[in-house]
Amino acid sequence: MSNKFPQKQVIASLLTVLSFTNILAQQKTAQPNLGSRNVEILRIQNLSFKDLNKNKKLDRYEDWRLPISERIKDLVSQMTLEEKVGFMLISTTRMGGDNVFGGAPAAGTATPINDGFNEEDLIQNTNMFTRKPLSAPNMAAAGTTKGVRQLHLRHFILRANAAPEIMAKWSNNLQALCEDTRLGIPAIVASNPRNHVTTDASVGLSVGVTAFSKWPGELGLAAMRDFALTRQFAEIASKEWRAVGLRKGYMYMADLATEPRWQRVEGTFGEDADLTSRMIQEIIVGFQGKKLGAQSVAMTTKHFPGGGPQVDGQDSHFDWGKFAHYPGGMFDYHVKPFKAAIAAGTSAIMPYYSAPIGKEFEEVGFSFNKAMINDLLQEKLGFHGIINSDTGPIEMMPWGVENLSITERYQKALNAGVDVFSGAANPSTLLETVKKGMVSEERINQSVAKLLKEKFELGLFENPYVDVEEAKQIIGNKASTDLANLALRKSIVLLRNEEQVLPVKKKTKVYFETYFNTGRNADIIKVAKPQYPDVEFVSNKEEADVILVWLIPNGGGLFSSQGTKIDLRLSDNRIDVNHVNELINSKPTIVAINYTNPWVIEEIDKGKTKSILATFGTTQEALLDIVTGKYNPTGKMPFTTPINMKAVEENKSDVPGYMEGPNYGLFPFGHGLSYK
């Protein structure tokens, strides 16, 4: 039998294989940077490992050389059932001086937010959203030390808006506390968005303007149509978050704004499934990277299978808005952006509270809906990451399962596929569910393994600590701010410019005011002349050649809802239309409107409104750069604006405006003019 390969060629091939094997071995054993405060470092074969369980030997879960699957298996085997169920809750955590959800402190008793812990349990007897009594008291937040040491909590939501230095120190203090427990399992801290100009910065939606770099609202990012800049936004925000110890994002919304009255449109990327899919893809990859690692913030894409098509626009935080429907038969259209999120590698997906009607699914909230989560999301769409419930479906929003006990609700949600429950800090009822045999410990182990996998991949077991000085340098630095300022300008849309008033010409006298609360005097904006030397800003309209009025309509925010009919006309959203019309009729007037919903502007659009701009969460400086021509507008509308309220009321909630027919839209999706 002859040898087909020459000896030299065989030797060369062997050397190549050995070299490649050696490279793999070096990669596998590369010493990671370890961060520790309360555990010893074990030295083995010139390598370092953290002795997380303090037993003076190297356990498999502590050995960073091993595959993550082996580390998970070892750690799960060492965890008690109590530790496992505590691990499956994610609840609000409060910094020292942070009283979120607790009501305003008595006058003179408030303490500034600091890097210590809030050690008080927060017990709620009423639903904080519907303001109705709960069937049983709910611990919405535990005292920090108790939560970590006794309740075994390791997943937290931080809602406080604090200075970066304080956040970073607090994060390190929390991780040191977790490290000083039996198994030394680190915490993961999540947050809602922190990098946007937003109108409704309600707890649970957005933190609003912070020390972090300040970008347009989500609708504004979509209006840019600049996917490279969108990716840069996500990469910058991810770096800022990591700098203060935030490693999990409760964001972004892949929901579609097909129902113009829905009270959460501001947090979407608009009505188009393809645009939203692209935005979600860029943002997930920007925050996470191509895969989870030590330089990632793990994303939680929400709200599966799409929260947009709410009946009459009422939101399912409330019992008067508990149902989603699909009168246009476009259920699959709303799922499309979640497919993009899965393809991009999103770490977690959050189902919404809503119960679907008019579809083949059981009429129960999506967190309880096995056909929706297990059958569709996991089996058909192939998502194998974490299923994270929204805040409170077990205790507060059990739509369709109101008659089940709390343990039965846990059972149904676990059987549907939920892995981690948001909104409760006391695991005793979940523990009871397992001990009664309603779900097996093996089912619990499946969820715990998923949650551990995220932590291992993020490198938290090796080093959960941050550099406080570095955080101060990273957050909102000049390079990040410059890009954010560009985005703020690119997000503005020129809707109409019939008489070419825009951009205002040299030596024009401009009177600039914002007017958004009926019954209040207008806010007159004074602009320093050096900023715009060719334009003179005057203090009254009589002196002006041109009036600029910036309207900020506001329906009161999601959590002020009373279940009454939602009206998108400006007069129903804190705009004094008589005042605006007086301005329009007195002088050439530029009307800028901040869109958090597709407002109906027929009350001021009577043939005399020649110049209209759309903003989606931006700054005064960005708007003035557009008005004065320092920046040429390039933005495009992320949704269609209805022509009147009749069109709104007759719309099909699951159908995007550009598909509603020729008589629906005033400004269509994708509309946007430029000066050149």
**Catalytic site residues?**
390
Residue 604 CB neighbours (<10 A): 23
Please return the burial class of 557, using the count of CB atoms within 10 Å of its CB with bins 0-12, 13-18 and 19+. Answer: middle
Strand partners, 537: 510
237, 169 contact by CB (below 8 A): no
Virtual torsion, Cα 212, 214, 218, 220, nearest 10 deg: -170
In 552-648, at which residue ranges do the beta strands (DSSP E only) sit? 589-594, 611-615, 641-642
What whole-number distance in Å separates Cα of residue 66 and Cα of residue 73? 11
- Cα–Cα distances in Å, from 327 out to 7, 219, 320, 647? 72, 25, 19, 15
What whole-number distance in Å separates Cα of residue 376 and Cα of residue 379? 6
Cα 569–chain centre separation: 28
Q: What is the largest CA-CA distance in the chain?
A: 104
174, 187 contact by CB (below 8 A): yes
Cα 382–chain centre separation: 23
What whole-number distance in Å separates Cα of residue 649 and Cα of residue 605? 20
What whole-number distance in Å separates Cα of residue 288 and Cα of residue 296? 4
**Angle, to 10 degrees, between the axis of helix 441-457 and the axis of helix 406-416?**
60
Please return the burial class of 382, using the count of CB atoms within 10 Å of its CB with bins 0-12, 13-18 and 19+. Answer: exposed
Return all residues near 140 (Cβ < 8 A) that are at least 6 apart. Answer: 91, 92, 101, 122, 123, 124, 128, 423, 424, 425
The structure tokens 């409107």 sit at 593
Residues shown for the chain:
676
What whole-number distance in Å separates Cα of residue 440 and Cα of residue 437? 6
Q: 3-state class of 420 per DSSP? A: strand
